[in-house]
Amino acid sequence: MKLNAGSGEGTKEYNSDFVNIDLLKPYKGVQGDILNLPFKDDSFEEVRLIHVLEHVLRHQQMPMLRELHRITAPGGVFYCEVPDFLENMVELVRVYHARPVNWEHVRIKTVGVYGKQRSTGDCHHWGYNEYFLTRQLSAFQWRRIERSHEMISNHHRVENVILMKCVK
């Protein structure tokens, strides 16, 4: 089985090959809290957390990652994708200093920093770079943690992202 954690309410992040779970009522999925998943240990051969971690309060991030590690099967793969905060900041400054300033590009790059803020949970609580994300993931017993350049989502088309692949 495969899990898409934080699939969202709409169809955009829905994946028919995965069990989709979200705190809000997900489209064709399971409504549940990723901090307390209703699945047995080692249940999934693949787990995805795509643009979710940055939306979680800092004190809940490690418990969430621990829970996702728990349900990943031995030999299974965990993917975690977040905006690359530092690269997005560099890009924001570059776009701002271009003349004439394209304010729509500035707005788009600013979203990568703060989130879209369409609802309470749609803001970013932390800005990740590869070092900090790897450091958080290293707290668990993954056999291998590496940056992946195979993109899962389409977020990389509008912002710089970090996709980490962890093997249990």
Averaged pLDDT, 70-78: 98
Q: Can you list the domains of the chain with their CATH numbers?
A: 2-83+124-167 (3.40.50.150)
Q: How many residues does the chain have?
A: 168
Q: Which residue has the tokens 């939306």?
A: 55
% of the chain exceeding 70 in pLDDT: 97
> What pTM, to 2 d.p., does this model score?
0.92
Cα dist. 94→98, 102, 105, 160 in Å? Answer: 6, 11, 10, 14
DSSP string, 93-146: HHHHHSSS--HHHHHHHHHHHH---SSTT-S-S--B-HHHHHHHHTTS--SEEE
The sign of the torsion formed by the CA atoms of 116, 124, 25, 167 equals positive
Does the pLDDT value for residue 156 go beyond 90?
no
Does the pLDDT value for residue 14 go beyond 70?
no
